[in-house]
Amino acid sequence: MTIDETGRPHHPIDRTDTVGAIGERAVIAALTASATAGEPAHDIVIGSGDDAAVLDIGGSAVISTDTVVEGRHFRFGWSTPEQVGARAVVQSSADVAAMGGRTTGLVVSIACPAETPVGVVLDLNDGVVRAAHELDARVLGGDLVAAGQVVVSVTAVGALEDRRPVSLGGARTGDVLAVSGPLGASAAGLAVLSDPRAAESDWPELVALHRVPAPDLGQGPIAAAAGAHAMTDISDGLIEELLTMSRAAGLAMAVDSDAVPRRPDLVEAAGALGVDLTRWLLAGGEDHHLLASFEAAAVPPGWTVIGSVGAPSTSAPEVWVDDRRVGGPDGPDLHGWQSFADPTGD
């Protein structure tokens, strides 16, 4: 493998050959070469290519894994292999950020049919490597196996440095709830792709954010350093995450939907498509911005206050949106996305 002036790796094997024809080892060698190209990171003792990688964590390690499945979490018609790889990295790293960690290393498992062109696997891996580099992290290794469909698992390993981990259930009565970015873009991008009346070129950034979410994961360590009491990333939609946080803390939580930050193009797209904007904001998942609870005075710059943490609840999870209880008789019934219940594909 060589690197051209754009930093994009060139693979000497024929990209149109199938993985089965070229063989696992040759493909893994190309993936390893791609993963180890460029500047070595100071905290990697042994990188990709050995039995296992060795990472100098210098304290506590934060570990999370996330798996995406073709036809279920992504479709190659809608996303390029690079985008699929990048998205898997963001998903896992968001979980690390939600503990207050900074992702420093990733391992990647790719399962795919033997008939898959090698170029698809190389591009998927390039997406992983590039997204890792954007987080100042490195790909430490992985596995490539034959399967009936493409399944990508990414495990992110991060460093807490001198911060205390921020758990799901640490919210305290009187805290404010805040988010680290504008919500709903991924759901809106999916709606644009799904709606025959909409063209991708009308809202290109929403579609791009559906394909690869772009949360500022540096806000996780910032929130932890600011003393956040509880934190999670918004993968299943704001309401779903609030229900999880409320259940974990045993406390009521309330949000003001008008306070939820939103992109101007999201408001435009909702109007043009005649869609309920609130649904995108409150139930749209996969933006992977962070949701945290803080003492009111401790909210760091970059975060938007959207609500507050109430009293202990005997019927937790207890989440209120605009003074209506979620799941209550006249309350909103906005639910996020679950892998088995509501697949993207099939």
Are 325 and 331 within 8 A, CB to CB? yes
User: Could you tell me the smallest distance in angstroms from the CB atom of residue 18 to a copy of itself?
Assistant: 9
The response to whether 4 counts as a known ligand-binding position is no
Stretch that binds a copy of itself, among 30-38, 165-173, 181-189, 260-268 (CB under 8 A): 165-173
Question: Which residue, 92 or 278, has its beta carbon nearer to a copy of itself?
Answer: 92
Question: Which residue, 91 or 186, has its beta carbon nearer to a copy of itself?
Answer: 91
Does residue number 341 form part of the binding site for a copy of itself (CB under 8 A)? yes
Q: What angle do CA 335, 336, 341 make, to 5 degrees?
A: 95
User: Could you tell me the smallest distance in angstroms from the CB atom of residue 48 to a copy of itself?
Assistant: 10
Question: Which residue, 111 or 192, has its beta carbon nearer to a copy of itself?
Answer: 111
The response to whether 268 counts as a known ligand-binding position is no
The response to whether 78 counts as a known ligand-binding position is no
Identify the residue whose tokens are 């498509």. 273
The response to whether 286 counts as a known ligand-binding position is yes
For β-strands 151-159 and 102-112, DSSP reports them as antiparallel
Identify the residue whose tokens are 């099939």. 346
Does residue number 216 form part of the binding site for a copy of itself (CB under 8 A)? no
Helical axes 264-273 vs 204-211, angle rounded to 10°: 100
Question: Which residue, 114 or 275, has its beta carbon nearer to a copy of itself?
Answer: 114
Question: Which strands, in side-by-side order, build the sheet including 102-112?
Answer: 138-146, 102-112, 151-159
User: Could you tell me the smallest distance in angstroms from the CB atom of residue 300 to a copy of itself?
Assistant: 19
Does residue number 88 form part of the binding site for a copy of itself (CB under 8 A)? no
Question: Which residue, 43 or 205, has its beta carbon nearer to a copy of itself?
Answer: 43
Helical axes 24-36 vs 118-134, angle rounded to 10°: 20
Closest CA to 225 of 302, 306, 112: 302
In the set 15, 17, 67, 225, which binds a copy of itself (CB under 8 A)? 67
In the set 90, 99, 214, 299, which binds a copy of itself (CB under 8 A)? 99
Are 233 and 90 within 8 A, CB to CB? no
Q: How far apart are CA 326 and CA 125, in angstroms?
A: 41
Does residue number 41 form part of the binding site for a copy of itself (CB under 8 A)? no
Are 220 and 254 within 8 A, CB to CB? no
The DSSP symbol for 15 reads T
User: Could you tell me the smallest distance in angstroms from the CB atom of residue 147 to a copy of itself?
Assistant: 4
User: Could you tell me the smallest distance in angstroms from the CB atom of residue 266 to a copy of itself?
Assistant: 25
Are 246 and 189 within 8 A, CB to CB? no
Does residue number 219 form part of the binding site for a copy of itself (CB under 8 A)? no
- Distances in whole angstroms, Cα of residue 129 to Cα of each of 15, 73, 94, 134, 135: 18, 20, 16, 9, 10
The response to whether 64 counts as a known ligand-binding position is yes
Please state the separation of Cα 335 from the chain's center in Å.
Answer: 18
Kindly state the number of chain residues that form the binding site for a copy of itself, as judged by CB under 8 A.
70
Question: Which residue, 126 or 240, has its beta carbon nearer to a copy of itself?
Answer: 240
Q: How far apart are CA 125 and CA 252, in angstroms?
A: 43
Are 265 and 206 within 8 A, CB to CB? yes
Are 174 and 308 within 8 A, CB to CB? yes
Are 103 and 93 within 8 A, CB to CB? yes
In the set 151, 225, 267, 298, which binds a copy of itself (CB under 8 A)? 151
Question: Which residue, 24 or 268, has its beta carbon nearer to a copy of itself?
Answer: 24
Site string for a copy of itself, 101-130 (x = CB under 8 A): x---x-xxx-x--x----------------
Point out the annotated binding site: 51, 64-66, 73, 95, 142-143, 233, 235-236, 286, 337
The footprint of a copy of itself (CB under 8 A) covers 19-20, 23-25, 45-46, 49-57, 59-69, 71-73, 94-96, 98-99, 101, 105, 107-109, 111, 114, 140-149, 151, 153, 155-158, 160, 165, 167-168, 231-233, 338-341, 343
Point out the annotated binding site for ATP: 142-143, 235
